[in-house]
């Protein structure tokens, strides 16, 4: 698998607060990469910073985002504008407020085509709009509807249709189904995965709902306090999460399949950016915290073939213990 998007050591600051710390992630062609974490973990900030959509006072002090050999962070606004939506489209929470309330959905789709495909004639663009709506299963006469005339699920489908208008390489989905009920949620995600198979794009799927990620993504990166704390194939995370925070997240949601488990949740609340705990940011809430956790931040190191974990419980960190750092969980 070849990488389509490589984020290297990306940091994001809001004023003097660091919201994302040196995150490195790779999105491979045709893959669904899940980004999980609580509110404020930096997952959306990371996605917006990587696509240069961060609003001031947010800024990127260091890092690279490589797309097809170009660093997105050093492109000019003009070069970037050509790339936007053509190569990287974003599915926002369309059910809420991502569609302009005073313009018909057809015009909003047409806006994309008119900007990026100036050679298309008006009837061609209209035909493409109808094609896109039928792709996501919306009656084509809805093209002239306004967002308030559509249900939440339909608005989200319109958002997806719009994202696919230019057949992008990458689709970033930021909490795409959070405001929808569970049935519609699954319909839409299922549809999205089928479309991915036919059209062959890669997906970055951002959500706090790790059970959805386990089901729909290939690989999952779990973020806490602006850092990736664990990254592994979805099945491995589900089967044996290594980081205590990943384990906590998994036990916060009911399992979709398999035996019943007790829902436990994670005690405490996410860290405040203004007063990050020293050492590992998770240690005040961690059930297996040790002395070293409050002193030094563990690096994100490979554990086994396809997994990376940032935790002192993992032996590879060279902790001088007799037990050779066997996981205590």
By CB under 8 A, is residue 98 in contact with another protein? yes
Q: How far is CA 252 from the centre of its chain?
A: 19
Please say whether the dihedral angle defined by the alpha carbons of residues 175, 180, 185 and 188, taken in this order, is positive or negative.
negative
User: Nearest-CA neighbor of 224 among 35, 6, 15?
Assistant: 35
Q: Does 44 bind another protein (CB under 8 A)?
A: no
Q: Which is nearer to another protein, 107 or 187 (by Cβ)?
A: 107
Q: Does 79 bind another protein (CB under 8 A)?
A: no
Cα→Cα distances 43→47, 150, 224, 286, Å: 7, 29, 9, 20
How far apart are the C-alpha atoms of 308 and 139, rounded to whole Å?
45
Interacting residues with another protein between 216 and 235 (CB under 8 A): none
Give 196-207 as a DSSP string. HHHH--EEEEEE
Under rule CB under 8 A, residue 99 binds another protein: yes
For position 328 contacting another protein by CB under 8 A, the verdict is: no
Name the residue nearer to another protein (CB basis): 149 or 235.
149
Min. distance of Cβ 85 from another protein in angstroms?
Answer: 5
Rounded Cα distance between 328 and 313, Å, is: 7
Q: How far is the CB of 123 from another protein (least distance, A)?
A: 21
Residue range at the interface with another protein (CB under 8 A); choices 50-58, 125-133, 297-305, 312-320: 50-58
| Interaction of residue 51 with another protein, rule CB under 8 A | yes
Examine residue 178 and tell whether it contacts another protein (CB under 8 A): no
Distance CA 285, CA 225 (A): 12
Whether the CB-CB separation of 264 and 252 falls below 8 Å is answered with yes
The minimum distance between CB 275 and another protein, in angstroms, equals 26
For 13, other C-beta atoms within 10 Å of its C-beta total 17
Nearer to another protein, 179 or 289 (CB): 179
Site string for another protein, 101-120 (x = CB under 8 A): xxxx------xx--xx----
Interface residues toward another protein, by CB under 8 A: 51, 53, 55, 80-86, 89-90, 92-93, 96-104, 111-112, 115-116, 145-146, 148-149, 162
């Amino acid at each position: 698998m070849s990488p389509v998007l490589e984020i290297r050591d990306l940091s994001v600051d809001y004023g003097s607060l660091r919201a994302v710390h040196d995150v490195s992630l790779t999105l491979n062609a045709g893959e669904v990469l899940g980004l999980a974490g609580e509110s404020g973990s930096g997952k959306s900030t990371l996605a917006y910073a990587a696509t240069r959509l961060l609003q001031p006072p947010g800024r990127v002090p260091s890092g690279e985002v490589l797309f097809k050999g170009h660093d997105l962070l050093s492109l000019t606004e003009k070069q970037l504008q050509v790339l936007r939506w053509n190569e990287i489209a974003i599915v926002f929470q369309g059910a809420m407020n991502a569609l302009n309330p005073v313009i018909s959905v057809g015009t909003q789709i047409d806006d994309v085509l008119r900007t990026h495909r100036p050679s298309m004639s008006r009837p061609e663009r209209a035909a493409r709009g109808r094609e896109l709506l039928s792709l996501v299963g919306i009656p084509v006469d809805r093209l002239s509807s306004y967002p308030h005339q559509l249900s939440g699920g339909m608005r989200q489908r319109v958002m997806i249709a719009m994202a696919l208008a230019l057949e992008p390489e990458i689709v970033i989905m930021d909490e795409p189904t959070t405001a929808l009920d569970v049935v519609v949620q699954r319909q839409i995600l299922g549809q999205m995965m089928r479309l991915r198979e036919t059209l062959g794009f890669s997906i970055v799927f951002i959500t706090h709902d790790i059970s959805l990620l386990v089901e729909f993504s290939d690989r999952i990166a779990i973020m806490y306090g602006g850092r990736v704390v664990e990254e592994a194939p979805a099945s491995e995370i589900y089967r044996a999460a290594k980081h205590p925070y990943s384990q906590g997240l998994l036990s916060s949601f009911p399992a979709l399949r398999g035996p019943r488990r007790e829902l436990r949740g994670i005690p405490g609340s996410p860290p405040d950016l203004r007063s990050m705990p020293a050492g590992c940011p998770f240690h005040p809430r961690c059930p297996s915290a040790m002395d070293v956790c409050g002193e030094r931040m563990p690096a994100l190191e490979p554990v086994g073939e396809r997994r990376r974990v940032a935790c002192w419980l993992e032996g590879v960190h060279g902790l001088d213990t007799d037990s050779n750092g066997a996981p205590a969980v």
